[in-house]
Amino acid sequence: MRRVLMLVVAALLLGQVAAVAPSGAEGSSGAAAKEGPVKAVLELGRQLYYAGDPLQLRVSVGNEGDAEVANPVKTSLPAGLEVRVPGGGPLKRGAKPESSEPSRPGRLAPRYAYSAVIDVTKLFPEVSSPGQYEIRWAADGVVSATLVVRVIPKYDASKAYRVRVETDEGAFAIEFFAKTAPLATKAFIDMANTGFYDGLAFHEVHPDQFVVGGDPQGDGAGTPPLRYPADPSSLPVVAGTVLMKPLSPSPPTNGSQFIVMLRPEPSWTGQATVLGQVVDGLEVVQRISRLPSTQQTARPYFKPLKDIRIRKMTVAEKPAP
């Protein structure tokens, strides 16, 4: 799987993650996971998690079978949580959770589960910092699937940001028009911080006119991790202008695709959200635009014959003048 959202995107983990115990997995007691109808499930309810904010997780233990069974779990739900950094050891625990756990039944009726909502940052303070974390529940032979969560820096509207876009053809830098495009600026920076754009290709090129990137499917028809209203403005579209490619004209909605212009287009003014301006490396975008393409007028439109990918996007505060 190329990226986990956080977002995922990323991080971008939404809804329920099934928690079937992997073969040979071990719980916190060291015992191998047992096959059976009793399962543990972890659920997250948000798309993005910001550094310093609570990270609330629902832990459920239940009987997925059709007959009543003895509950093998004797461990409390908070005590069974494990968090680690990928490739590293488990994180140290901090304070006990503030919320109390429901009573653990000795027997579990068919299709019955008990659960608790736990703030992971209370148990593991390190999760309050930006980074990627693996979370699972394991105890008494019951092991959940592992969630991978990306915690990103919190966007600060009072600060000015710049993003460096490293590609197979070189790097360029974008500064944002946050005052006229506040929604797009925050969404773009959040997606970049989750790593969503890393590895995506520029899927449409027009020599010395413009290039298009940011589509997760690579042909302009992918589903973005975020949808949000457009930020209309009367800013001119010139060489280096970065536009958000609209998802729909009515209502005007943006996603993740962006366009980098290589020449003025007066007729485009007011037709799309002006996200920002390339302030360094426009010649890199120009090289990408000149790559041989399919010349197709149907999707995928003018796709480069050779994939040119975004290796990494790095967000930082704009340097002082």
pLDDT at 20: 30
pLDDT at 46: 79
> Where along the chain do its domains lie?
6-152, 161-317
pLDDT at 97: 59
- Find where tokens 């659920």 sit: 43
What is residue 232's three-state secondary structure?
coil
Task: Please give the C-alpha separations between residue 190 and each of 48, 55, 227, 259, 307, in angstroms, as whole numbers.
Answer: 8, 17, 13, 18, 25
pLDDT at 48: 79
CATH architecture, domain 6-152: Sandwich (2.60)
Structure tokens at 123: 């148990």
Neighbours of 62 (CB within 10 A): 20
pLDDT at 39: 97
Beta strands in 25-160 (DSSP E): 38-44, 49-50, 56-63, 69-70, 81-84, 107-108, 113-119, 131-139, 142-143, 147-152
CATH classification for the domain delimited by 161-317, as one of 2.40.100.10, 3.50.50.60, 3.90.226.10, 3.40.50.720:
2.40.100.10
- Find where tokens 């997925």 sit: 64
> Tens digits of per-residue pLDDT, 291-311?
999 998 888 899 999 999 999
pLDDT at 321: 73
What CA–CA distance (Å, rounded) separates 80 from 57? 13
Q: Which residues are registered as beta bridge partners of 210?
A: 206, 261
> pTM of the prediction?
0.81
What CA–CA distance (Å, rounded) separates 122 from 93? 9
Task: Please give the C-alpha separations between residue 209 and each of 41, 201, 237, 259, in angstroms, as whole numbers.
Answer: 50, 18, 12, 10
pLDDT at 131: 93
- Find where tokens 């625990």 sit: 93
- Kindly give the confidence (pLDDT) of every residue in the chain, 321 residues in length, as a single tens digit, with 9 standing for 90 and above: 333 333 333 333 333 232 333 333 344 444 456 789 999 999 998 767 999 999 999 999 999 999 999 999 999 999 999 999 999 889 999 866 555 677 899 999 999 999 999 999 999 999 999 999 999 999 999 999 999 999 999 999 999 999 999 999 999 999 999 999 999 999 999 999 999 999 999 999 999 999 999 999 999 999 999 999 999 999 999 999 999 999 988 899 999 999 999 999 999 999 999 999 999 999 999 999 999 999 988 888 999 999 999 999 999 998 877
